[in-house]
Amino acid sequence: MPCSFYILFSISKDKFYLGHTCDEIRERIRKHNSTHKGFTGRQADWSLVFLESYPDKSSAYARERLVKS
């Protein structure tokens, strides 16, 4: 299953969020912009600034860990 590593940015929070998903990226961003507990749940202005595709979840997660380190 193809997956993605992505970076979001919130203007109001002036922060980046790094993540990975195997869902459709538009749906994942919609979830980040919905009200929920967690790092992205208080702002609804997260926008996609970077996206890379990977053949599987473990590869996308490995890229996320590498960029965060």
Q: Each residue of 4-33: pLDDT tens digit?
A: 999 999 999 999 999 999 999 999 999 999
64/50 Cα distance (integer angstroms):
12
Q: How many domains does the chain have?
A: 1
39/22 Cα distance (integer angstroms):
20
Task: Could you list the beta-strand ranges (E) of 1-69.
Answer: 3-10, 15-21, 46-54
By residue range, what is the domain housing residue 32?
Answer: 3-68
Q: Any bridge partners for residue 17, and if so which? A: 8
Q: Any bridge partners for residue 53, and if so which? A: 4
- pLDDT tens-digit profile of 43-63? 999 999 999 999 999 999 999
SS3 21: strand
pTM, 2 dp: 0.92
